[in-house]
Structure 1
């Protein structure tokens, strides 16, 4: 019996020596442990490449777009292993932001934190009145909160919300009306830009009812009341909305055209060649039709970004003054030029800067 037991132990020892060691990798002869973490929702701060291993020379597995939701599976040193659309690769941790929601509340009175959702449970600690706690979870009428390094449950009715801070995967919003873009999440903060009506903005962060957005290379905060869920439009749908019933909207060989015959206005949006041609005859030379340029600028910037008011001003200037001595005007990604036929051309196919 002893001999049989010894033989079995010997076979088991050989098997263990030859078996691969789970959770370990070898790097330059040094044994290291993969630092696994529970999968966490993240988004990329910019477009990044994911690699086969923890090195940018190991070969790219995939490209992860800015703002999309991904799952972080593990971390090691300055690298994170992520999963996106079924593929797994490694990216620099500095390029990732965790998707999370933080709720900070004030206690309305002195409260007791309990170990579970019952006043008969063990008391964890007492929290004085008007102190801040962080909510971790809710269950029916109870909130699990953290205070001073201790965690427990308290009746939700004994708390009042101070603020909610949230980061999330990239979302698009449409601006419902002209809105101020402010330097902070307060109506008393500085206005750093004006968001045009029907403009499209993107956000990955919210503070209470304020959203952090970037517009025309300026980043600030806008109140939620000015935003609505973004619904993608075609060029033709946008033109019907912006130009209205007094214009004829029709498809041409190259794009979509808006025409107002009485005022001799024609605007052709050539999205195949990424340009627009504006043929606008000013019925009254002392009072040119500047609003026509704003309509065109709204359509162009809706799909390509930028401030429609600035673009409209530069198109109008080229048509009324700049054509005499300017070859072209560059604004952001747009080049504005005046043709020998008397048309204004706006091109956005290239980076002109």
Structure 2
């Protein structure tokens, strides 16, 4: 039977329809057959799921170059609507994409230019975010010439023409140095609140990775930074070697049948232990100190036992943590207690204890300005005056005061209190030892 082949104008019309039905409009070019095809994207290998005709052009009426057996591997070149241009057995042609499946696609890709991540696989779709050049994205799935990827906690579609396969992210270094002044943010997003600005040349400790963001600790704070402004460093501590190997003894006040100050369901012993554990973690992970707790649970210890534990631990400093209370609910603020010069004091490190207390008080005051600073006070406190190392006692606020109590019962503020205390201890250790 004689068959009239479609005219060139009809082919062009059908081609345009196929391109639109593919749900994604991408840059195209004319191949040797005169048919439009999308620009080649990142190379992948596909496996045929049935015996499949390799055709000269992207049309069911196009001549068959050969039949590819089911289970064969073909090399992807480009997409044309519902057709893939592939090579097989030394020949290049078109196959129906529904009869091939991805057999090896890279798990990670690197962008070759700034790249729009879109909500759907279409060039007119809303832009979710702009991915920087040379950023690494994680492959999720494929839709024609579009890849569904994740980047910086977002998932969307990108034109695969601007991706190149790359290896999985290299396991991170323990420590990194900043290459520029760098914002430490609350979360892994450029619009997130800035916790602090890390100066260029500073060393941060790596915690975890979130696509192109690193969660790090710096100067007692933990947050997210853009990894492109970090470079691995061989420094073994986040600041310097002063204080490395030193032992800090943290004493959570009260405990067991001694609740300390109480207001309703708020117990001083609970607040003290929570801050102590947070402080111990920061001192260990951020500043690399050997940290000992006098108590790690709800246990009663006498004052003598606390001092004795510091002796057995060979503590280089001793810091006791408390919350205050008063019969006057207007009393409020934080304060630090240090040894007096009276005969009560047998601690040979009076001057150092005062420096330690002053350093902690200064950091708390500068970091948490919403709580009144009552200053450094000289008092006869057993765990301070009768100890055998630089020692101080911190009162973080008054449980009896509604404003202070709101801070003391807030986990965010307790974390900030711990961070400020850790920084104060570290500043003292660096200058004293």
Query: Does the TM-score normalized on the shorter chain lie above 0.5?
Result: no
Higher radius of gyration, 1 or 2: 2
Q: TM-score, normalised by structure 1?
A: 0.31
Q: Normalized per residue, which structure has more strand?
A: 1
Q: TM-score, normalised by structure 2?
A: 0.27
